[in-house]
Amino acid sequence: MAIATLVAILAIAPVGAFEIRPDKNLTGGSVRTGDRDAACGHAKEHRSLMYSARRDEILKRYGLPAGTHPDYEIDHLIPLCLGGSDDPSNLWPQPRRSIEETWNAEAKDRLERLMCNMVCAGQIDTATAQQAFATDWIAAYQTYYEGRKRLNAKPAPRQPSPSPTNPACPIKGNANSKGARVYHKPGDRDYDRVVMKDCDHGVCAKGKRWFCSDPEAEAAGWRRARR
């Protein structure tokens, strides 16, 4: 009785060991076509119905019990939209996000959409995309999906570089966009934004100057900047 109960539990319990990559001996990946025009926009035409007998055969090959498995997706290793075949050699039970946090069917779906769009737009050739999935879809995800995200990421706002301060004369004289000459003292809001370059005896590029005191700056025709 105890043995029968254990067998029943194992039959319905989720399988703990699952493959985030398919077994190459079982699912090496196979293609229907290598022609871009024959692949793009024709995926649905070549997707057969997933009958229970067909599903159970794929599950059995991977040591999973027959029946529905909400934690798995019967997936094409090489996507149909890239010319992948609907043959068992291109199918495997891929874990979903419910049991695999990172390398799951949802992540592979994102990669498929990206690479199918890239192939159909002529940004990458069909054979290269097919080989990327057949070899290691996770490596392809890191190269293409995460790589594109990094390229498209907005650079961090550039922080102004503090100017080399003259210890004896720390006041910065600057000409603003309207041509008005203003000076900034340490602690002022825009003090670090004013970059003093190519200075010689207190006179710098772009009409900037170092001053030692407020009276000196004001006598030279500069006014205090708004704080």
pLDDT digits (tens, 9 = 90+) for 100-129: 999 999 999 999 999 999 999 999 999 999
Residue 6 has pLDDT above 80, yes or no: no
- Look at 36-45, 85-94, 189-198 and tell me which has the smallest mean pLDDT: 189-198
Average pLDDT of span 203-225: 84
Distance CA 171, CA 166 (A): 8
136 vs 16 pLDDT, higher one: 136
For residue 167, the model assigns a pLDDT of 61
Percentage of the chain lying above the pLDDT 70 cut = 82
For residue 127, the model assigns a pLDDT of 95
For residue 154, the model assigns a pLDDT of 64
Q: What angle do CA 132, 128, 57 make, to 5 degrees?
A: 45
For residue 9, the model assigns a pLDDT of 37
- Look at 120-124, 135-139, 163-167 and tell me which has the smallest mean pLDDT: 163-167
Output the average pLDDT for the chain. 84
Look up the pTM and report it. Answer: 0.61
> What does the buried/exposed string (b/e) look like for 131-150 if buried means 16 or more CB atoms within 10 Å of the residue's CB?
ebbbeebeebbeebbeeeee
> What does the CA dihedral 23, 24, 27, 32 come to, rounded to 10 degrees?
160
